[in-house]
Amino acid sequence: VDLKDLLSQTVVLKLNGGLGTSMGLEKAKSLLPVKEGRSFLDLIADQINHLSKENSAKIQFVLMNSFSTNQDTLDALKSTHPEILTQEDLVLLQNKSPKIDAGTLKPVEWKAAPDLEWCPPGHGDIYPSLLGSGMLDRLIGKGFRYAFVSNSDNLGAVMSTDLLAHFVSSGAAFMMEVAERTEADKKGGHLARRKADGQLILRESAMCRDEDKALFQDVSLHKYFNTNNLWLDFVQLKKKMEEYDGIVPLPLIKNKKTVNPRDSTSTSVFQLETAMGSAIECFGNAAAVVVPRSRFSPVKTCNDLFSLRSDAYHLTEDFCVKLNRDTPPVIKLDDKYYKHVDKMEKLCQGGIPSLLSCNKLEVTGPVVFKSGTTFKGTCSVTNTKSEPVELPPGEYTDQQVEL
């Protein structure tokens, strides 16, 4: 297989619709600096440029933005990677759905901020957005047949030429990267085969009866979870969508939230979403491939960010973020003081401590970290007061520190 030829037929598509509200962010989550001052978006753009240069192939890059993230993302690229902005079909804009008032089951009204009446319809919207915008036809017309799709906050989701070659040679319409479930993943969805016809499906906990919960969570029985790194064959996808009048028939997910995500006392709403991975059940020739856990490295909480910004990780020459050790440190920061990025950064103005040799760190109460602090083994730091207290710099090995 000619790798350059394959890459020139492949689109790298990043899902970039999330605001990171659970981490207290109000802009696109991908703009958050994660390593050496570079944001997720910077790292993705640098990876694309590096891949194009190394393989003498022009890589087609697509960002699936939401109405909430589009302008911020374009402004950021203008200042850091203006060369990316010159590319055609850079942005695929997600549709938007009305939030449903949980009390009336009608579209919610929120006069204080009408923008909050709308929500993104989940990443399953990738399929109707590709077709409805005309982008799917344009890309096929330009000779693009394959796509690697992943979340912009998953630092492990980098283009793999080995996986691309495997996908193309398999002839599958759809391929999902899965990783082995551990006890930590038991509540999340898993890959399964439908007994009736042997079809691969994604099974979520919401689809599972209460009496089946124990079996659902048995990681020795259901061994694999979806990393949300997917490979698509555009030609076969278009054919499938034509069969279903322009859609991929995905199950609907009902998420309960508040109309203002930053105000837990605001009106309760349902956000109706679909997940793109559920499409695995729509293709008779769908495939799954088991990948190392390193291809699933999402940043969902400030615990993840704290670890990532430390010396437990390094940035490689090809702009990938890699562990400096076998397994990541287990970090448990007090949600009351560290849940939001701005609060965490305020308490870590002196820099993130060294975690290179740290197995586990638990922080309770507001603790201020200064430069020159190192944790090794299993440590905990506790401040029982509500006022921040500074931890004296130094090396802490298997210690429980009370301030």
Catalytic residues: 300
Cα(first)–Cα(last) distance of the chain, in Å? 61
Distance CA 68, CA 86 (A): 22
Within a 10 A sphere around the Cβ of 60, how many other Cβ atoms? 23
Beta carbons of 290 and 308 less than 8 angstroms apart: no
Distance CA 118, CA 120 (A): 7
Beta carbons of 217 and 187 less than 8 angstroms apart: yes
Judged on CB neighbours under 10 Å (0-12, 13-18, 19+), 334 is: middle
- In the numeric block, the tokens 């990938």 are attached to 320
| SS3 letters across 346-371 | HHCCCCCCEEEEEEEEEEECCEECCC
Q: Is the dihedral of CA 279, 13, 144, 87 positive or negative?
A: positive
- Alpha-carbon distances of 398 from 333, 354, 358, rounded to whole Å: 17, 14, 9
Nearest 5°: phi and psi at 255? -105, 130
Beta carbons of 191 and 222 less than 8 angstroms apart: yes
Between the CA atoms of 343, 70, 245 and 197, what dihedral angle is there, to the nearest 10 degrees? -30
Half-sphere exposure of 211 (CA within 13 A, CB side): 0
Beta carbons of 346 and 365 less than 8 angstroms apart: no
- Cα Rg of the chain, angstroms: 22
